[in-house]
Amino acid sequence: MTTQDTPSYLGPASAVDSAPIPRDAPTPNAPPALGRLADESPDVMMLHTQDAYRMFVGRAADAATKAPAIPGGRRFAAMLKAIWYLSANDNPYADWLLIRVYQSLADIRSQMGQVIEAREAEFERLRRKGLALSVLASRSPVTVELGFRSPYGYATAEAIVEFDYHVRMVKTLVLKDRMSDEAGRADIRAVGRGLRALFLEPIRWERYLLREEMLPLSRRDFLPGADEAARQRVRAAVALFGEVPRKVFTGEEAPRHSQRRIT
Protein backbone atom coordinates (compact mmCIF):
# COMPACT_ATOMS: atom_id res chain seq x y z
CA MET A 1 0.00 0.00 0.00
CA THR A 2 1.42 3.36 -0.99
CA THR A 3 1.35 6.48 1.13
CA GLN A 4 -1.53 7.81 -0.94
CA ASP A 5 -3.45 4.62 -0.29
CA THR A 6 -3.02 4.82 3.49
CA PRO A 7 -6.44 5.37 5.02
CA SER A 8 -6.94 8.50 7.10
CA TYR A 9 -8.29 8.08 10.61
CA LEU A 10 -8.72 11.79 11.13
CA GLY A 11 -11.42 12.33 8.58
CA PRO A 12 -11.56 15.23 6.13
CA ALA A 13 -10.10 18.53 7.23
CA SER A 14 -12.70 21.09 8.20
CA ALA A 15 -12.65 24.71 7.15
CA VAL A 16 -11.54 25.65 10.65
CA ASP A 17 -8.67 23.14 10.58
CA SER A 18 -7.38 24.38 7.25
CA ALA A 19 -7.68 28.08 8.01
CA PRO A 20 -4.29 29.86 8.39
CA ILE A 21 -3.35 30.89 11.96
CA PRO A 22 -2.74 34.64 12.29
CA ARG A 23 0.84 35.49 13.18
CA ASP A 24 -0.14 37.43 16.29
CA ALA A 25 -2.52 34.77 17.60
CA PRO A 26 -1.34 33.00 20.78
CA THR A 27 -0.18 29.45 20.28
CA PRO A 28 -2.35 26.80 21.94
CA ASN A 29 0.38 25.96 24.48
CA ALA A 30 1.42 29.54 25.28
CA PRO A 31 1.48 30.26 29.04
CA PRO A 32 -1.06 32.77 30.33
CA ALA A 33 0.06 36.31 31.00
CA LEU A 34 0.83 36.42 34.72
CA GLY A 35 1.04 39.51 36.86
CA ARG A 36 4.07 40.46 38.90
CA LEU A 37 4.51 38.70 42.25
CA ALA A 38 3.60 40.90 45.20
CA ASP A 39 2.88 40.57 48.91
CA GLU A 40 -0.69 39.58 49.67
CA SER A 41 -0.58 41.78 52.76
CA PRO A 42 1.93 44.25 54.23
CA ASP A 43 4.91 42.79 56.09
CA VAL A 44 5.04 44.07 59.65
CA MET A 45 7.39 43.97 62.61
CA MET A 46 6.10 44.11 66.19
CA LEU A 47 8.35 45.75 68.79
CA HIS A 48 7.85 45.73 72.56
CA THR A 49 10.70 47.94 73.79
CA GLN A 50 11.79 51.54 73.27
CA ASP A 51 15.36 50.28 72.96
CA ALA A 52 14.54 48.24 69.86
CA TYR A 53 12.30 50.93 68.34
CA ARG A 54 15.05 53.55 68.67
CA MET A 55 17.54 51.06 67.27
CA PHE A 56 15.34 50.76 64.18
CA VAL A 57 14.44 54.41 63.54
CA GLY A 58 17.74 55.96 64.69
CA ARG A 59 18.00 59.58 65.74
CA ALA A 60 17.83 62.77 63.71
CA ALA A 61 20.51 65.44 64.11
CA ASP A 62 19.70 68.14 66.65
CA ALA A 63 20.94 71.59 65.66
CA ALA A 64 20.20 73.05 69.10
CA THR A 65 22.33 70.58 71.02
CA LYS A 66 24.65 69.88 68.06
CA ALA A 67 23.94 66.18 68.52
CA PRO A 68 24.80 64.25 65.34
CA ALA A 69 22.37 61.96 63.59
CA ILE A 70 22.55 58.29 64.51
CA PRO A 71 21.50 55.94 61.71
CA GLY A 72 19.15 53.16 62.71
CA GLY A 73 18.21 49.87 61.14
CA ARG A 74 15.85 51.55 58.68
CA ARG A 75 18.62 53.76 57.26
CA PHE A 76 21.02 50.81 57.28
CA ALA A 77 18.56 48.74 55.23
CA ALA A 78 18.14 51.59 52.73
CA MET A 79 21.91 51.88 52.27
CA LEU A 80 22.27 48.16 51.70
CA LYS A 81 19.46 48.25 49.15
CA ALA A 82 21.35 50.92 47.19
CA ILE A 83 24.56 48.85 47.31
CA TRP A 84 22.61 45.72 46.35
CA TYR A 85 21.30 47.52 43.25
CA LEU A 86 24.85 48.67 42.52
CA SER A 87 26.02 45.04 42.43
CA ALA A 88 24.04 44.65 39.18
CA ASN A 89 26.82 46.63 37.46
CA ASP A 90 29.34 43.88 38.33
CA ASN A 91 30.86 46.22 40.93
CA PRO A 92 33.35 44.23 43.05
CA TYR A 93 33.27 46.79 45.87
CA ALA A 94 29.50 46.45 46.16
CA ASP A 95 29.93 42.68 46.47
CA TRP A 96 32.68 43.11 49.05
CA LEU A 97 30.63 45.43 51.25
CA LEU A 98 27.58 43.17 51.10
CA ILE A 99 29.70 40.21 52.18
CA ARG A 100 31.34 42.11 55.03
CA VAL A 101 28.20 43.69 56.39
CA TYR A 102 26.07 40.56 56.18
CA GLN A 103 28.74 38.54 57.98
CA SER A 104 28.97 41.16 60.73
CA LEU A 105 25.19 41.17 61.08
CA ALA A 106 25.15 37.37 61.23
CA ASP A 107 27.85 37.43 63.94
CA ILE A 108 25.86 39.86 66.10
CA ARG A 109 22.70 37.81 65.65
CA SER A 110 24.59 34.65 66.58
CA GLN A 111 25.90 36.27 69.76
CA MET A 112 22.41 37.43 70.71
CA GLY A 113 21.06 33.96 69.97
CA GLN A 114 23.59 32.32 72.27
CA VAL A 115 22.77 34.72 75.11
CA ILE A 116 19.03 34.24 74.61
CA GLU A 117 19.41 30.45 74.63
CA ALA A 118 21.35 30.65 77.90
CA ARG A 119 18.65 32.86 79.45
CA GLU A 120 15.88 30.55 78.25
CA ALA A 121 17.75 27.59 79.75
CA GLU A 122 17.89 29.50 83.03
CA PHE A 123 14.12 30.03 82.89
CA GLU A 124 13.66 26.32 82.24
CA ARG A 125 15.80 25.38 85.26
CA LEU A 126 13.67 27.64 87.45
CA ARG A 127 10.50 26.10 86.05
CA ARG A 128 11.73 22.62 86.96
CA LYS A 129 12.27 23.90 90.50
CA GLY A 130 8.70 25.15 90.58
CA LEU A 131 9.14 28.84 89.68
CA ALA A 132 7.60 29.65 86.28
CA LEU A 133 8.60 33.09 85.00
CA SER A 134 7.17 34.79 81.92
CA VAL A 135 9.08 37.14 79.64
CA LEU A 136 7.94 40.76 79.83
CA ALA A 137 5.90 42.04 76.89
CA SER A 138 4.42 45.43 76.09
CA ARG A 139 0.72 45.96 76.66
CA SER A 140 0.67 48.02 73.47
CA PRO A 141 3.55 46.99 71.18
CA VAL A 142 4.36 49.10 68.15
CA THR A 143 3.61 47.57 64.76
CA VAL A 144 5.98 48.81 62.05
CA GLU A 145 5.09 48.24 58.40
CA LEU A 146 8.23 47.19 56.55
CA GLY A 147 7.85 47.20 52.76
CA PHE A 148 11.54 46.51 52.11
CA ARG A 149 12.72 46.06 48.54
CA SER A 150 15.81 43.99 49.23
CA PRO A 151 16.62 40.82 51.20
CA TYR A 152 19.00 42.83 53.36
CA GLY A 153 16.12 44.88 54.74
CA TYR A 154 14.47 41.75 56.04
CA ALA A 155 17.74 40.50 57.53
CA THR A 156 17.96 43.83 59.36
CA ALA A 157 14.37 43.59 60.59
CA GLU A 158 15.00 40.11 61.97
CA ALA A 159 18.06 41.39 63.84
CA ILE A 160 15.97 44.22 65.33
CA VAL A 161 13.28 41.77 66.46
CA GLU A 162 15.94 39.57 68.06
CA PHE A 163 17.39 42.61 69.83
CA ASP A 164 13.89 43.47 71.05
CA TYR A 165 13.49 39.99 72.51
CA HIS A 166 16.96 40.16 74.03
CA VAL A 167 16.05 43.43 75.80
CA ARG A 168 12.77 41.95 77.04
CA MET A 169 14.62 38.93 78.37
CA VAL A 170 17.23 41.03 80.19
CA LYS A 171 14.62 43.35 81.72
CA THR A 172 12.68 40.30 82.86
CA LEU A 173 15.76 38.93 84.61
CA VAL A 174 16.44 42.28 86.28
CA LEU A 175 12.85 42.71 87.47
CA LYS A 176 12.71 39.16 88.81
CA ASP A 177 16.07 39.33 90.61
CA ARG A 178 18.02 37.09 88.27
CA MET A 179 20.36 39.93 87.26
CA SER A 180 21.45 43.24 88.81
CA ASP A 181 20.42 46.62 87.40
CA GLU A 182 23.97 47.42 86.34
CA ALA A 183 24.56 44.03 84.72
CA GLY A 184 21.29 44.38 82.81
CA ARG A 185 22.16 47.85 81.50
CA ALA A 186 25.64 46.68 80.51
CA ASP A 187 24.23 43.66 78.67
CA ILE A 188 21.78 45.75 76.63
CA ARG A 189 24.39 48.45 76.01
CA ALA A 190 26.97 45.95 74.71
CA VAL A 191 24.67 44.48 72.07
CA GLY A 192 23.30 47.89 71.11
CA ARG A 193 26.80 49.27 70.65
CA GLY A 194 27.63 46.48 68.21
CA LEU A 195 24.51 47.10 66.13
CA ARG A 196 25.05 50.88 65.99
CA ALA A 197 28.66 50.44 64.90
CA LEU A 198 27.50 48.13 62.13
CA PHE A 199 24.80 50.59 61.01
CA LEU A 200 27.51 53.24 60.55
CA GLU A 201 29.78 51.12 58.35
CA PRO A 202 28.01 51.41 54.96
CA ILE A 203 27.72 55.21 55.10
CA ARG A 204 31.18 55.95 53.71
CA TRP A 205 30.85 53.27 51.04
CA GLU A 206 27.46 54.54 49.92
CA ARG A 207 28.65 58.16 49.88
CA TYR A 208 31.50 57.44 47.45
CA LEU A 209 30.28 54.47 45.42
CA LEU A 210 27.06 56.28 44.50
CA ARG A 211 28.81 59.38 43.23
CA GLU A 212 28.03 59.99 39.57
CA GLU A 213 31.63 59.51 38.47
CA MET A 214 31.88 56.20 40.39
CA LEU A 215 28.59 54.64 39.33
CA PRO A 216 30.04 52.91 36.22
CA LEU A 217 32.71 51.12 38.31
CA SER A 218 32.82 47.43 37.38
CA ARG A 219 35.23 44.54 37.07
CA ARG A 220 35.82 45.57 33.44
CA ASP A 221 37.58 48.68 34.72
CA PHE A 222 40.38 46.48 36.08
CA LEU A 223 41.21 44.95 32.67
CA PRO A 224 44.47 45.99 30.94
CA GLY A 225 42.63 47.63 28.04
CA ALA A 226 40.43 49.87 30.20
CA ASP A 227 40.28 53.56 29.29
CA GLU A 228 41.58 56.42 31.44
CA ALA A 229 38.19 57.11 33.08
CA ALA A 230 38.02 53.48 34.18
CA ARG A 231 41.56 53.58 35.55
CA GLN A 232 40.70 56.71 37.53
CA ARG A 233 37.71 54.94 39.07
CA VAL A 234 39.89 52.01 40.07
CA ARG A 235 42.55 54.25 41.62
CA ALA A 236 39.92 56.17 43.59
CA ALA A 237 38.24 52.99 44.87
CA VAL A 238 41.53 51.40 45.93
CA ALA A 239 42.61 54.61 47.68
CA LEU A 240 39.31 54.83 49.57
CA PHE A 241 38.60 51.20 50.42
CA GLY A 242 41.73 49.18 49.69
CA GLU A 243 42.22 46.25 47.34
CA VAL A 244 39.28 43.93 46.81
CA PRO A 245 40.13 40.43 48.10
CA ARG A 246 40.93 38.12 45.21
CA LYS A 247 38.21 35.59 46.09
CA VAL A 248 35.62 38.36 46.01
CA PHE A 249 36.91 39.77 42.74
CA THR A 250 36.84 36.37 41.00
CA GLY A 251 33.40 35.56 42.38
CA GLU A 252 34.64 32.58 44.37
CA GLU A 253 33.30 34.36 47.43
CA ALA A 254 29.97 36.03 46.67
CA PRO A 255 27.31 37.90 48.66
CA ARG A 256 24.37 35.93 49.95
CA HIS A 257 22.17 38.13 47.73
CA SER A 258 23.44 39.97 44.65
CA GLN A 259 22.06 41.53 41.47
CA ARG A 260 25.19 40.53 39.56
CA ARG A 261 24.46 38.60 36.37
CA ILE A 262 26.36 35.31 36.30
CA THR A 263 27.07 34.18 32.73
- Cβ 105 vs Cβ 156: under 8 Å: yes
Question: Dihedral of the CA atoms 74, 258, 149, 106 (nearest 10)?
Answer: -40
63 — pLDDT class (breaks 50, 70, 90): confident
CA distance 168 to 51: 10
- Cβ 148 vs Cβ 154: under 8 Å: yes
Which ranges of the chain would DSSP assign to H, the alpha helix? 15-18, 50-57, 73-86, 92-129, 151-175, 181-209, 228-241, 246-250
Average pLDDT over residues 135-145: 95
pLDDT at 19 over 80: no
Average pLDDT over residues 65-69: 84
What per-residue confidence (pLDDT) applies to 261?
78
5 — pLDDT class (breaks 50, 70, 90): very low
Q: Kindly report which listed range (25-29, 196-200, 208-212, 229-233) carries the lowest average pLDDT score.
A: 25-29
Average pLDDT over the chain reads 88
Domain ranges of the chain: 43-58+66-250
